[in-house]
Amino acid sequence: MNRKILNLAIPNIISNITVPLLGIVDLTLMGRLGDEVYIGAVALGGMIFNFIYWGFSFLRMGTSGFVAQAFGKSDSKESIVILSRALLAGLIGSLLVIFLQWPVQRIAFWLINSSEEVETWARSYFYIRIWAAPATISLYAFTGWFIGMQNSRIPMFVAIVVNVLNIFFNVLFVFIFQMKSDGVAWGTVIAQYSGLALSIYFFRKKFGELIKLWESKAMMNMGALRKFFLVNKDIFIRTLALIFTLSFFTAKSAEVNDTILAINTILFQFFIFFSYFVDGFANAGEALAGRYIGADDRQKLMQSVKLIFIWALGVSIAFTAFNLAGGKLVLKLMTANEDIIAGAIPYLPWIVVIPLISFVAFIWDGIYVGATVSKHLRNSILAALSVFLIIFYTLTPLFGNHALWLALSGFLAVRGIYLSAFSASTIFNFRK
């Protein structure tokens, strides 16, 4: 079982960590320009796209759970039908995003309080990167499908290629063509379409024979569609609440001043890097939970869950130790601005403790997705969001920016506690 977990988790980890590495490179590129305005522009522009694109991440999560269960039942026809449903939903959603781009950006910048210069560059970033929507959203569907089919290597390879290309074009546009944050946006657009083309290539090469099993009638089966959208509705609400929390974190940082925005953005990369790393084991939980529930194998389900939690605990301890020992050094590598470095040091303890606080929520999140038990994913994050807002508004007058980090920590802890409490009656009680 450990081998199965690692065969799924390691490619997912490699795939996932390329994302925060890209974020770190982007921030480093902007930091080396010598003006915190560009860091803020990428942070705010990225926050808006997190809200847009992460809202569609239900296509990855919902797809992986349903496909993993179909895989456990050896139902190849259902697996290809699920992919077609996800891609159709993604195409409609991406066209809607592009069509509504002007009101979306107006609302976003009305809600966010930042300096005029940061907003100008962030707006330019937005209008360029929006054209990556069809590729980005379709990649969610393909990634979820590959994971559900117990194949994490293809998403790993695609992610590596996408992010290497992204870094290459970002460096090219910023340092060779003398562009600013808009260069980072163009690099993202080109890389995302490259990733979509590569995913289609691998699908046709490895799974092309499944196309002949596809039927439009099966895709439009009302009972299956209803279940697909009910589960994805809950995951969508869960994702919106998560995005709201993280966006709120960035927006409240921006309201203080550009320096606090830069400090929190850089420190947040520690958490993002950890989250994508441990999420590799959560993705393994998605695939294995769905597979063993589909195969009606309770013993292997319980064994896999136990071992995944052990691996995740080890990862969390390692990150806590690394952040404690090397946090200051990483700060100096990410920015040359001495004011930002000095201002960030008092907040380093938060990035030391967050891995241990948050890993339980990450792992249960993946397992619940694989089990397609979406109601509790929704309820857990709404409870956690309530705690987050209470802590922030109650303690900010007393503790300032520390209250924002405490609220984030409380948010992560409550999710883990809630999902743990309901696991016995949901995850391990799946017989129909």
AA identity, residue 308: I
Is residue 432 scored above 50 in pLDDT?
Answer: no
Which tops the pLDDT comparison, 178 or 66? 66
Query: Hey, which bits of 142-298 come out as E strands?
Result: none
Is residue 178 scored above 80 in pLDDT?
Answer: no
Residue pLDDT, tens place only, 413-425: 999 999 999 888 8
Helix ranges (H only) for 32-115 are: 36-54, 58-72, 76-99, 101-111
Say what the pLDDT of residue 279 is. 87
Q: What pTM value is reported for the model?
A: 0.75
Residue pLDDT, tens place only, 122-139: 888 888 989 999 999 999
- Give CA–CA dist 313/360, Å, rounded: 8
Is residue 390 scored above 90 in pLDDT?
Answer: yes
Is residue 299 scored above 80 in pLDDT?
Answer: yes
Chain mean pLDDT for the chain:
84
Residue pLDDT, tens place only, 46-58: 778 877 777 787 7
Q: In Å, how far from its chain's centre is CA 93?
A: 18
**How many percent of the chain have pLDDT more than 90?**
25
AA identity, residue 173: F
Residue pLDDT, tens place only, 333-379: 777 677 778 878 888 899 899 999 999 999 999 898 888 888 888 99
Is residue 11 scored above 70 in pLDDT?
Answer: yes
CA quadruple 90, 96, 99, 104: dihedral, nearest 10: -110
- Give CA–CA dist 315/325, Å, rounded: 16
- Give CA–CA dist 59/61, Å, rounded: 6
Say what the pLDDT of residue 22 is. 64
In our burial notation (b when 16+ CB lie closer than 10 A, e otherwise), range 388-420 reads bbebbeeebeeeebebbbbbbbbbbbbbbebbe
DSSP state of 378: H
Which tops the pLDDT comparison, 176 or 281? 281
Say what the pLDDT of residue 223 is. 65
Given pLDDT bands bounded at 50, 70 and 90, which one contains residue 218? Answer: low
Q: Any idea what the Cα angle at residue 339 is, between residues 117 and 328, rounded to 5°?
A: 120
Which tops the pLDDT comparison, 68 or 115? 68
